[in-house]
Amino acid sequence: MKLKFLFAFLLLSALVFVPLTAAQDDDACNVAYLFDAWARATPEGAPTGAVFGLLTNLSAEDDVLISVSTDSAEAVELHEVIMGDGDVMQMRPVEGGFAVSKGGYLELAPGGYHIMLINLTQPLVAGETLDLTLNFEHLGEVTITVPIHEMAEEGGMGSAMEATPEAMMPLMDWPETCAKIHVVGAWARNSVAGMPNSAAYGLLVNLTDTDDTLVSATTAASEVVELHEMTMGDNDVMQMRPVEGGIVIPAGGTAWLKPGGLHVMLIGLTEALEADATIDLTLTFENSDAITLTVPIREPMEDAMPMGG
C-alpha cells in the first residue's frame, strides 16, 4: 500500500499542463526557461547531484529540452523516476528529452523528472550557485544560474528546498515582447454533483522587473470568486483560507496555482463545470493589465498522467 501511494504521489509530481488559452500578442515571446530552478546540496564526496524547477515554454511552438551542460559535472542526463518490477522505484534516462508544449510547463521535482549531474567536479554547497546551459530543439541555448539549497528534512522525496537569501535565482534580461505577466497551463476543476464550488489553477509568470500581485478574479461561472490557499492547520489537518492582499508574483519569478496550494476559488457555481468544456476567467493585477482567459475544464486526475510529448 505504501508503494502504491508513493507511485501516485510521484505521478502528481510530474505534471504536464495544457497550453495557454489566452489570446496571444502579435509579437511573440520566444522564451523557454527553467523557472524556480534549484540544485540539491550534496555531501562531500557524493558523485552525483540533481537540478529541479518548472520547465516553461512561453513561445508559440512546441519545444524539447534535448540536453544540458555544466562545468560542475562531467556529464549531464535528463532522468525520470518510475515504478519498476516488483514495485521498486527506478531511475532512467528520458529518451528524446523533456517535451514542453507551447504555452505549457513541466515540473522537474525530486522523485520525478530531473536533470542529473553525473561525476561532480566539486560538491554542491548550499548558499552557492552553479551555471547550466539548457539546449532546446527550437529555441537553442539558454544559460541560467541555479541556486543550491538543502532539502527540507521533514518533507521527504517531494519536499521543496530550504531557500536561503544568499542563493536566489538572478533576474534575466528578458526580450521587450516578454515583459508582462504570462498565464501558463490554466485549467479549472470539473464540478461534482452536490458540490457548489470549484477552483482554477495555472502558472503565473512575471517577466517584468517589478513584483506584481494577483488581486482578484471574476467569472460568470460562479457567484463569487476568491483567492485561496491550502495550509497545514492544527493536528496536521489541511485547511483552506483566503489569501489576504492577493497572490504575489515576484519579478522574474512565478506563482504556481495548483491543487493543495494556491488557487482561484469559484464559489456558488452558476452552471455545471463539465470536463472538456471551458469557462472565461478574468485575472486582475495590481500593476499589470487584466488578463482574460478561456480556461479548459478537466478532471483533476488527468493531471497525474505522465509526460506524453
- 77 and 218 assigned to the same domain: no
Rg (CA), the chain: 19
Higher pLDDT residue, 301 or 252? 252
Start-end of H helices in the chain: 2-12
Query: Which residue type sits at 234?
Result: D
- 253 and 119 assigned to the same domain: no
Which residue, of 170, 201, 233, is where some domain finishes?
170
Looking at residue 203, its pLDDT comes to: 97
171 pLDDT band, cuts 50/70/90, is low
DSSP, res 10 = H
pTM: 0.83
- 201 and 237 assigned to the same domain: yes
Residue 260 has pLDDT above 50, yes or no: yes
Which residue, of 120, 140, 170, is where some domain finishes?
170
Looking at residue 232, its pLDDT comes to: 77
Mean pLDDT of the chain: 85
Q: Is residue 148 part of a domain?
A: yes
Higher pLDDT residue, 188 or 309? 188
What is the domain extent for residue 213?
Answer: 179-304
Q: Is residue 309 part of a domain?
A: no
Which residue, of 117, 144, 170, is where some domain finishes?
170
Residue 4 has pLDDT above 70, yes or no: no
- 6 and 104 assigned to the same domain: yes
Q: Report the C-alpha gap between 54 and 38 in whole angstroms.
A: 10
The predicted model gives 268-277 an average pLDDT of 94
**Domains in the chain, number:** 2
Residue 137 has pLDDT above 70, yes or no: yes
Higher pLDDT residue, 66 or 159? 66
Backbone angles phi, psi at 82, to 5 degrees: -130, 165
Higher pLDDT residue, 163 or 114? 114
- 219 and 117 assigned to the same domain: no
Backbone angles phi, psi at 4, to 5 degrees: -65, -40
- 9 and 153 assigned to the same domain: yes
**Which tens digit of pLDDT belongs to each residue from 94-134?**
999 999 999 999 999 999 999 999 999 999 999 999 999 99
Q: Report the C-alpha gap between 102 and 57 in whole angstroms.
A: 6
Q: Is residue 41 part of a domain?
A: yes
